Structure 1
């Protein structure tokens, strides 16, 4: 919404969620590096399109 390309944001968000599915361990623990980098990676992906 902020960058104006909702479709690209959803598409990139789906890719990030697939990474989360591979990283989440029993108990719901996720590494900080994956969760910390999700938002800037989506923004960079939209801006670099």
Structure 2
């Protein structure tokens, strides 16, 4: 199952975003991570077994 998840950070300091990306790309389920503009800061493409796993 493929899930697209939008993420909004509470803080926008440069190191906060960099730490988020570093931590999130270490997860094998995260297959893509985009820094986006608008209401959210990131959009993640997640590949999982099923919705229960999510």
The reply to whether TM is greater than 0.5 is: no
Give the structure with the higher percent helix. Answer: 1
Higher-RCO chain (CA-CA 8 Å, sequence separation at least 6) = 1
Give the structure with the higher percent strand. Answer: 2
Name the TM-score, length of structure 2 as normaliser: 0.31
